[in-house]
Amino acid sequence: MEYPVKSALFGLAVGDALGVPVEFVGRSWLKRFPVDDMRGHGTHDQPPGTWSDDSSMAFCLAESLCRGYDLSDIAEQFLAWCFGQKWTPHGKVFDVGTATLSAIERLRNREIPPQLAGGMDEGSNGNGSLMRILPLLFFIYNKPPEERYAIISDVSSMTHGHFRSIFSCFVYLEVARQLLWGKQVADAYKEGVEIVRQFAEEWAFNRRELSYFSRILQGKMPEVHEDNIFSSGYVVHTLEVSLWSLLTTSSYSEAVLCAVNLGEDTDTSGAVTGGLAGLAYGFDDIPASWVAQLARVEDIEYLCCAFAESICR
């Protein structure tokens, strides 16, 4: 299991780091001056290879899962990151989303169960749970669908508790699960979405809410024109970016650069796409020069080894 763990976590972090320097930059500008390599400075004035809160929170989740599944421990890891600089690239937290920060403040008070800390209103559908959810794949991949969904719901709801955020994480991890089984990209999308559709029908999920996922659930993502792919911080947009970028390219680097060069929320687009692309093409397809420039690359490597070992126990 070490290779897929390494592929997923490094895939996520490299995609994140590619996007950090151009976060909030528009698509038209990136058409003229596209990202084609690891850069530094830019939006947040960080050195090359700097990853954001996306990777930080994913690493916190992975580290917690090394000890088993415990929402309170996951919460403690998030607190140690946000207030103690744990799993930061250079010892400083930057650019944390409003909804995530509000939820972490609620976790800090320790007055409610961790799975109730996230906002549950329709306005709380940023991509802050989707960006960090990937490590959970390795804990749930061999569990039945009902249990997978319940666990995803709880972990997402620590920061984002609305159905749309939870369901986005569910779709994402079902596609990732097919990639973990070795399916080709198109088949992973098709078969992952079919499992999601059957589950949603069986549990009679709200049809209005499901309508926000119609392009995904109808299998239409590869056919969508780029002009109709949106790269804001809205969770459904980010999910669509990751699937579209994966389905319309044929390598790790093509997928993450495609996602990042859509502009706007580039770090999360890169991270979420990069996690899937890492699983699809493997660690060896991630450019070595990009991996070498990552902040704390040896720490990430150690985490991957420890996480993989814990899964196999």
Q: What is the DSSP string of 216-249?
A: HHTT-GGG--GGG---SSBHHHHHHHHHHHHHT-
Do the beta carbons of residue 141 and residue 192 sit within 8 Å? no
Q: Name the CATH superfamily, with its identifier, for domain 2-311.
A: ADP-ribosylation/Crystallin J1 (1.10.4080.10)
How many Å apart are CA 34 and CA 48, to the nearest integer?
16
260 φ/ψ angles, rounded to the nearest 5 degrees: -65, -40
265 φ/ψ angles, rounded to the nearest 5 degrees: -85, 65
Do the beta carbons of residue 58 and residue 100 sit within 8 Å? no
Q: Which residue has the tokens 């093409």?
A: 281
pTM: predicted TM-score of the whole model, two decimal places? 0.98
pLDDT at residue number 287: 99
pLDDT at residue number 111: 86
pLDDT at residue number 231: 98
Q: What's the per-residue H, E or C state across 63-107?
A: HHHCCCCCHHHHHHHHHHHHHHCCCCCCCCCCCCCHHHHHHHHHH
End-to-end Cα separation, the chain, in angstroms: 11
pLDDT in tens, the chain (313 residues): 899 999 999 999 999 999 999 999 999 999 999 999 999 999 999 999 999 999 999 999 999 999 999 999 999 999 999 998 899 999 999 989 999 999 999 999 988 999 999 999 999 999 999 999 999 999 999 999 999 999 999 999 999 999 999 999 999 999 999 999 999 999 999 999 999 999 999 999 999 999 999 999 999 999 999 999 999 999 999 999 999 999 999 999 999 999 999 999 999 999 999 999 999 999 999 999 999 999 999 999 999 999 999 998 7
How many Å apart are CA 293 and CA 296, to the nearest integer?
9
Q: For residue 244, is it left (φ>0), alpha (ψ between -120 and 50) or beta?
A: alpha
The amino acid at residue 76 is E
The amino acid at residue 83 is F
How many Å apart are CA 293 and CA 37, to the nearest integer?
11
Do the beta carbons of residue 151 and residue 136 sit within 8 Å? yes
pLDDT at residue number 128: 98
Distances (CA, A) of 47 to 44, 111, 269, 294: 9, 38, 19, 10
